[in-house]
Structure 1
Amino acid sequence: MKLLFIFFLLFTIALTDGIPLGPTPDMPAESSDITVISKLALSYPEEIAVDPTQTFYLTGTADGYVYKVLLDTNEVSILLTPKDFNPEYFTDFTDEEVAEYCNGNQSLTHILEPVCGRVLGIKFYASGNKVYIVNSYFGIYEYKFRNNKFKSIFEQTGVFLNDVYRIGDKLYYTNTHTSVQRYAVISVVLDPSPIGQGTFNVFDMDTKEHTTLIDGLFFSNGITLSSDKKFFYISETDGARIVKYEIATGETSYLVEDLPVLTDNIYLEKSEECEEREDNDEDCTNDGTLLAPGYYRVEGLDDVLRDFTAMAEFLTQDFYTVVVPTFKSWIKPVGTICEIDEATGTITKVIFSSDFKFLLAASAHKLSDNEYITGSVFYPAVFRFIVNE
């Protein structure tokens, strides 16, 4: 029976096209003209939540901590540690012992990550008085700044949770993979299944029920809400595209496909008109700008993603001597952020750095017209810079 299943899977893969990527877009030959304001060493930051006075960085791939950073002074303090997320395991550990253990040998990620956790998504709610936090291994949590209270909203293990967004009594969240955990992220990116294993879900905090809204996503990642609050935008990393989900009807479409990056998180920058309308309790139109940071698309990785048979064959090679180094060679150490017109899905700007002004953008926020802050999930730094135009 097992051999029959394997034969059926390989036969299905052979008859199925790969992830629907278009031609690899040409990237700018020259870097954008960027002036770096500050570069702050942090442990591979994943997502950044910015309020009017301070910034909270999440380290998604190094140690399982949440850091608070003051923008003006770059003063760093610890908001949450692995002990907060996994108190039973770390009961008898001192803070120093937790830090030493969770910053251990990175070749042991399959052991360390499920214990220390990895914090990925963070979103403000109710004017920044609280945040919702996704720990990829343990579930989703709430932190209230007013009284420093931290609690679990729901537990979910054995999957790859990623991002979160709250509306009313509902938490919307992405699950990047339903059975493979974050430490095997290369296997998630290069999953040879012809059906995507990612989902977009909602958790009702009153009834405690989970509902899957979209399944079959290829590496479901970041979430943001549209200006008019009628749609969600979801990053589909492997597909280099942004999914558009209508809340009222459940209809799904693509806002933009064939991005020049495999996009990670996604953020909405509202227009001044929209902010004025909201101040007057009026509805916005979809006239904002989406920021889609991501990883430079290269032909080698694109070719494999387009062909499930090639992907399956590639994964039969030795994982540590062939697959891992080849994969790392495909993730070029350049920084790329796409700006997208929310109304049309048109890419209006590509901020590009091949000269290490910023690297491997996993997150991006616009602090002013030309000032940005970005974190790099594969490089231990947060960059604040100005694009000179």
Structure 2
Amino acid sequence: MADSDRKIHDSQTLVDGNLLAAKAFAAAGVTLMFGVVGILVTSFAKRAVSIVIRFLAFHNEQSAAQKYNTLELPSGVSGPESIAFDCNGDGPYTGISDGRILKWQGSKHGWKEFAITSPFRIPKFCDGSLNPAMEQVCGRPLGLKFNEATCDLYIADAYFGLLVIGQNGGVAKQVAISAEGVPFRFTNALDIDQNTGVVYFTDTSTIFQRWAYAIAMQIGDKTGRLLKYDPRTKEVTVLLRGLSFSNGVALSEDKDFVLVTETTAAKIIFKETFMGNFGLHKIIVEDQK
């Protein structure tokens, strides 16, 4: 962290993390949330309500499910990491444990295979797989996001890097597998600037792959990175490095900053986007336990 950034952080008064998180949601335009009431959720809900975000509380999972439809995955698969809707509003699409990306075709037709991330994938051995050791062959799609202008789906696959696939699906094409000569080891989450097409994404570790995530967390690995890919120039830029299990990414509504989580450090980092890797970055949420 630069000296100027450290001074900014040190001079800030630490406040309730739940309140900061609620304010971040409000700044992103969120006006309504729901959740199952519990110790963690109740504290957050109180802060959300205090800044005029409506919160619908349910007392158990069954009452929550009664308010919303449940889309059951095909038998034998699990692990939907994220969901996305295409430029026509169709979907959702989700990546699952056996390396496939599925598209919801409606209650009549259910789920259909849309794309895969591994060119080496063999359906006979991969379909329905729950074995992490097979992910390097079958693929493991994590982050998903559509470019609304082109209808292309960008995919962060834990083993195959950043990929893209057109609206007809099939085998996704790799667009980035390294940055500054350092290969991606655990490509994780992404978000897209819909004005420019720039993709912001995380590489959780430059040492450990997804199958060894528990080890990375236990030893406190701090080799994670926040990166951006520009489809116009095909260039990948490292925006932040030295992150503790860098995970989720969220771009602001005005596209002027991006938030990235450090899972094992229990932090959310704010990073300006308009100055590239020279832009200000600071901690905005930190668990003080």
Fold shared, TM-score > 0.5 on shorter chain: yes
Query: Contact 2:17–2:286 (CA<8 Å) still a contact in 1?
Result: no
Aligned position for 2:217: 189
Task: Tell me which residue corresponds to 2:187.
Answer: 161
Question: What are the Cα deviations for residues 250-295 of structure 1, in whole angstroms up to 9, with x where unaligned?
Answer: 1112343339xxxxxxxxxxxxxxxxxxxxxxxxxxxxxxxxxxxx
Q: What is the distance in 2 between the residues matched to 1:38 and 1:209?
A: 40
Task: Answer yes or no: is the 8 Å Cα contact 1:55–1:71 preserved in 2.
Answer: no
Structure 1 residues 127 and 31 mapped into 2: Cα distance closer, same or farther (>3 Å)?
Answer: farther
* Mapping for residues 286-365 of structure 1, pairs under 5 Å: none
Gaps of 5+ in 1: 1-21, 260-305, 307-389
On the 8 A contact 2:200/2:227 being kept in 1, the answer is yes
SS of residue matched to 2:81: strand
Q: Which gives a bigger RCO, structure 1 or 2 (Cα 8 Å, sep 6+)?
A: 1
- 1:205 maps to a residue whose letter is P
Tell me the secondary structure at the aligned position of residue 82 of structure 2.
strand
Which aligned pairs between 1:185-334 and structure 2 lie closer than 5 A?
A: 185-193=213-221, 196-249=222-275, 250-258=279-287
Query: How far 1:86 sits from its partner (Å)?
Result: 3.2
Q: CA deviation at 1:151?
A: 2.2
Q: Distance in 2 between matches of 1:72 and 1:225?
A: 32
Residue of structure 2 in register with 1:65 after alignment: 100
Shift of 1:182: 0.3
CA distance in 2, matches of 1:98, 1:180: 24
Distance 1:134 1:99 in 2: 19
Which residue does 1:129 correspond to in 2? 151
CA contact (8 A) 2:17 2:285 kept: no
Matched with 1:27 is 40
> Are 2:92 and 1:55 aligned?
yes
Alignment gaps of 5+ in structure 2: 1-15, 19-37, 43-58
Structure 2 distance, partners of 1:142, 1:208, is 12
8 Å contact kept, 2:176–2:236 = no
Q: TM-score, normalised by structure 2?
A: 0.66
RMSD (Å), alpha carbons: 3.2
Paired letter, 1:99:
C
Equivalent position amino acid for 2:265 in 1: G
Residue 38, structure 1, aligned to residue 65, structure 2: no
Report whether the alignment pairs 1:78 with 2:113: yes
Alpha-carbon spacing, 1:169–1:77, altered in 2? closer, same or farther (3 Å): closer
- Where 2:219 maps in the other structure, the secondary structure is coil
Aligned in 2, Cα 1:128/1:31: closer, same or farther, shift over 3 Å? farther
Which letter maps to 1:254? I
Where does residue 178 of structure 1 map in the other structure? 206
Partner of 1:99: 126
Looking at structure 1, the residues matched to 126 and 144 of structure 2 have their Cα atoms a distance apart, in angstroms, of 21
TM-score, normalization: structure 1? 0.50
CA contact (8 A) 2:118 2:171 kept: no
Conservation of the 8 A alpha-carbon contact between 1:172 and 1:201: yes
2:83 match: secondary structure:
strand
Sort the Cα spacing of 1:232 and 1:161 in 2 relative to 1 into closer, same or farther, 3 A: same
Secondary structure at the counterpart of residue 57 of structure 1: strand
Amino acid at match of 1:54: G
Higher Cα Rg, which structure: 1
* Paired residues, number: 223
C-alpha distance in 1 between matches for 2:113 and 2:284: 37
